[in-house]
Structure formats: C-alpha cells, structure tokens
Amino acid sequence: MTARDHWGWKARLGMFIVSTEAVPEAEWWAMMPQGVSVHAARVKALTPWARWSPDRTHVELEPDIERGAAAFTAMRLSAVTVAHSSSSIAGGRGWDDAIANRLSAVLGPEVIVTTNGRDCRAALKASNIERPFLVFPAWFADESLPKGVSYFAEHGFSPSGHMRVDPGRQWRDVNPCDLYGLGMHVEQDVEHLYRQVRDICPDDADGILLVGTGLRCVGILEQLEQDTRRPVVSANQASLWRCLRLSGVNTPVHGYGKLLLT
C-alpha cells in the first residue's frame, strides 16, 4: 500500500503565476481532489504578460511565459491557465483569446489553454450570477478598479458594485501600489476580508466575485455563501474548477463553495 503522493494520474494542471506569490498554489492544493496535481511556472513580467501587436491581430509572449510553456511541453499536462487576473483585465477585449491561441501553438492541441479572465466569466455563468459584487485586492491601483469593472461589463455582466479590500490598520497609510512590495500580500487577514465583504455587499448583488489570484480567500468562501445567501466565486477557485472540468475531472470538492460541487 502506498501513501498519497499527489501524483496527477487523473489530470496534471499547469498554471502561470506571479513570481513572488505564494497564494495560488496554496489555495489550489487546498481544494485539489485526489489524483490531480498542479505545476506552476513563475512569471516576472510587466502586465499584461503578452503584448499586443501594433495592429492588435495577435500577441507576443513575454520571455517568462515562453520559457514556462516550453517546460510545460514535457509534462503531459491536461490543461494550463494563465492565472493572472490583472493581465486579463489590462489586456482588454480579445486578449484572453489571443494569448490562449498563442500558447496553444506552443503547447500543442492536446493541452487545453485558458486564462483567469475566461475562468471567472465561466464560473459566474455556471453560478447564474449576472450582477456580481466585485472585490479587488488592496494592492490594485486606482486606475485598475474601473478597468476591472469594465472588463466584466464588456463581457455581458452588470456589476452591482465594487470595493477594494481595506488592508488593515497597519497598512492604511500606504499607497496601494506599494503594499505588495512591502509584504502585505503574505500578511493577509482572511477574517478581516470576510467581515468587509459580508458587511458591504449590496442588496441587489446576485453573487460575489473575489478578483485576483493573489487574494487569499478560499478559506472563507463557504462561510460567505452561507451568511450572504449568495454564490461566491474566487479567482483561484474559478480557475481550478474550470481546469478540472475541461480535463474531464468532475469530482465534487466540499468546503470551498458551491462552484466546486457543480
């Protein structure tokens, strides 16, 4: 009898993540069903991670993405996601499709390629959410907030409102753009986040979307659903769910919101 070794015999999933983030892998492993594994390629590049051509007909991958994709080709992965909400938002209309097509050319037709933007949109639809309350990380710059709202509005949703997470007393005097570099991203207080979302969510919201794969939040999804009586989706939960389903893995995962039961 062998001990559990997290070997991906049902599916092996790849994710491109920010080079300095600890949250995405931790949250994926927390929610991962048996027989599935996750493998990360770390990216240190400007946002978005693929640059539009002058005529916006295609994108060129940043070097880190190219290196990661080349490494992934040897792993026999089932699905790969570009786990970076900011790139989907900053890239604008068509960017998700453009980078997925470019990566598919590198990884081959047997590997399904998606993005966090695609994953979140699919998760909202699967959860019957049309008027999501959008929750953005504390480190999102002022100009990123309207872009994030516009991204979902342009894809058929009607956001009921949005908020940027209050980082907590010790960080409130810090410019949002400086929070990440000063380490706030590894000192996140999920109970503080839970209370904010629960108390601020507008009455006309029919669901909640926690944007950003660096936002630590999957541990509160189920409690938020119970207390707000609304479906709750997070960036990492959405990408894992979609990669699992695209890979033919339909195992329900309990404890992390209704999405992973669908």
Beta strands in the chain (DSSP E): 11-18, 36-43, 50-52, 59-61, 79-82, 112-115, 132-136, 161-164, 207-210, 232-234
Neighbours of 253 (CB within 10 A): 19
Distance (Å, whole) CA 18 – CA 24:
9
From 86, 88, 82, select the one nearest 106 (Cα to Cα). 82
> What's the rounded Cα separation, in Å, for the pair 128 and 115?
20
Domain 120-234 has CATH 2.120.10.70: no
In the sheet where 232-234 sits, what is the strand order? 161-164, 132-136, 207-210, 232-234
Same fold yes or no, 11-117+237-256 and 120-234 = yes
pTM (predicted TM-score): 0.96
Please state the domain extents for the chain: 11-117+237-256, 120-234
What is the rounded distance in angstroms from the CA atom of residue 15 to the CA atom of residue 178?
Answer: 25
Bridge partners, residue 164, by sequence: 136
Assign domain 11-117+237-256 to its CATH architecture: 3-Layer(aba) Sandwich (3.40)
* Cα 201 from Cα 163, distance rounded (Å): 9
Per-residue pLDDT of the chain (262 residues; tens, 9 = 90+): 678 888 999 999 999 999 999 999 999 999 999 999 999 999 999 999 999 999 999 999 999 999 999 999 999 999 999 999 999 999 999 999 999 999 999 999 999 999 999 999 999 999 999 999 999 999 999 999 999 999 999 999 999 999 999 999 999 999 999 999 999 999 999 999 999 999 999 999 999 999 999 999 999 999 999 999 999 999 999 999 999 999 999 999 999 999 999 9
Q: Are strands 50-52 and 59-61 parallel, antiparallel or unpaired?
A: antiparallel
Tokens of 117: 């933007």
In angstroms, rounded to a whole number, what is the distance separating the alpha carbons of residues 107 and 157?
31
